[in-house]
Amino acid sequence: MKNDNMIEVKGVSKSFGGLKAVSDCSLQVEKGSITGLIGPNGAGKTTLFNIVAGTLMPDQGQIIFDGEDVTALKPHELHAKGMLRTFQIAHEFSAMTALENLMVAASEQPGESLFQSWFNIKHVTDFDLEVRKMALDVIDFLHLGHVKNELAGNLSGGQKKLLELGRTMMTDAKAVLLDEVAAGVNKTLLKDLASNIQRMNRELGYTFFVIEHDMDLIAELCDPVIVMAQGTKIAEGPMEDIRNNPEIVEAYFGTAVEAAS
Ligand SMILES: Nc1ncnc2c1ncn2[C@@H]1O[C@H](COP(=O)(O)OP(=O)(O)OP(=O)(O)O)[C@@H](O)[C@H]1O
């Protein structure tokens, strides 16, 4: 049977001591979508993301990724299957250039194997050339050509976020989990970031699952938007509908959603 979901969360629960952070939560992220996850502080969004990304085991429930049960898999195993997470704080190698940061993110690094490189120098050279070309394409795609030889540590917060997005493009990612990508990014670069996420989605077919506190960014990027409260999904739909649902706005957001509209 055809499965249109990239990620399925099925009846997931997770407690910390006596506190139920995620409670019998089920939701789906459709293939090819940019799905948003919003909710008040403490709603369980980060805990759920950690479970989906393999850094936390749920007490109950399952995570299905592209039709396969991946509940017990570790982050690097999920990475190999095409699920990647970017962090609120970008994880660049500050003493390497922007271009080199992209090159080291390529999924296969035959250069790492001494045995292979000793006996197969041509293969390594070809691979390096190919990776370099791919990294230059990604730099072009993200309009970062002017900083490609700059040390990543010298880039602005927003440029580092763009670079992190670029690192996902150097792998065979199918789904990218974005964790508060707008945090610390100025308005101009935020536009670049948003348009690149949209282009990666439309032109390259990436599925995105996005936690974000910036409601304007959620409204611009995401459809559908899933609302979480008290550890579970309480609503789902276009941001417009969520904003116009007085019960949700009043019960869970106060004036925050209205202020952003
Ligand atoms: N490692 C942990 N140990 C104990 N309690 C935790 C842990 N991680 C999260 N919690 C608690 O679980 C609940 C859900 O937290 P979580 O960070 O998942 O919410 P959130 O929706 O991401 O909130 P925010 O928007 O503030 O980041 C909170 O009450 C939090 O204090």
Measured in degrees and rounded to the nearest 5, phi and psi for residue 180 equal: 45, 60
**Closest alpha carbon to 20 in 229, 250, 197, 199:** 229
Q: Residue 181's closest CA among 172, 169, 189?
A: 189
Give the pair of three-digit tokens for residue 79.
């990475």
Amino acid at site 45: K
pTM summary value: 0.85
Pocket test for ligand 1, best of 9, 19, 227 (most atoms within 8 A of CB): 19
Average pLDDT over residues 68-82: 92
pLDDT in tens, 112-130: 444 454 555 555 577 778 8
Domains (range + CATH), the chain: 5-90+173-260 (3.40.50.300), 93-154 (no CATH)
* Residues within 6 Å of ligand 1 by CB: 16, 19, 21, 39, 41-47
Taking the centre of ligand 1 as the mean of its atom positions, its distance from the CA of residue 227, in whole angstroms, is 16
The one-letter amino acid code at 9 reads V
Using one digit for the tens of pLDDT, what is the confidence trace for 17-38?
Answer: 999 999 999 999 999 999 999 9
ipTM of the complex: 0.96
Residue 16 has pLDDT above 90, yes or no: yes
CA 236–ligand 1 middle distance (angstroms):
21
